[in-house]
Amino acid sequence: MTTSPDLLDQLRREWLRLGRGPDAERAFAGFAQRHPGLATAGLADLGDLVGALETRGGRTVLERARIVTALLEDAADPFLRRCLLQTLLPGIVSVCRQLRFGAGIVREPSETLGVAVALACELLCDWAGQARTYAAPDLLSALRGRLRRWLLKEKAARRAVAAYDAAEEPAADSSPLAARLGAFRGGSYDRLARLTYARVFEGRSLSELAREDRCAPRTLQAELQHFALRHLL
């Protein structure tokens, strides 16, 4: 399975711009001032800091761990939070790999990776300000739990939707589910009915629909699950 180089490359290119700008310099200066005991000598901005946190960045394991702990403490700052996310990307990919990128549950590995990144962002917001000695392992462990729960919910939702399909897979026009979705067209649930139809009968990925709907994949998934459980089952 692939690891969605498009998403990873997009994040990398974004960070090349964000990590070297004046805002990143100011954020790093404030971070270094608040945590004078860290191994940040010789660094100029957050781009340098991410480089220092890499395996070959010249810092010991203990020094890197202390920097990540401090970044989590200061993660209320959006630039420091984005810095921490960039540092965790290899671990996020590893978590997806441990869960086989949702093989047998989601159609595209990129969808699982996209959700994992969204969950990681949510986790960093939830944990911002906490002091954790083992911040990186704790974050990745929590992410693995959240991603596993999302995959289980996705699996259950797909099974529920599949229950409406006949064994011989009839055409969409003759499907009871299609007819039920059609009843919602033009009403207050028109949007969710259209998105559900595209997901089930057109085979479009959650990430693609989320981009068109201008929302996070996880948010859209939760909306579709709630709609299915409340109005379709």
Q: What is the pLDDT of residue 233?
A: 54
Global pTM exceeds 0.75: no
**Rounded CA gap, 86 and 117, in Å?**
10
Return all residues near 3 (Cβ < 8 A) that are at least 6 apart. 93, 96, 97, 101, 109, 113
**What is the residue extent of each domain of the chain?**
5-147, 163-232
Beta-carbon contacts of 54 under 8 Å, excluding residues fewer than 6 positions away, are none
pLDDT for 165: 45
Q: Give pLDDT, residue 163.
A: 54
pLDDT in tens, the chain (233 residues): 444 558 898 899 999 999 999 999 999 999 999 999 999 999 999 999 999 999 999 999 999 999 999 999 999 999 999 999 999 999 999 999 999 999 888 888 888 998 899 999 999 999 999 999 999 999 999 999 999 998 988 887 767 655 544 434 444 455 677 777 888 887 778 888 888 888 877 778 888 888 888 878 877 887 787 777 677 75
CA distances from 52 to 6, 35, 65 (A): 24, 16, 11
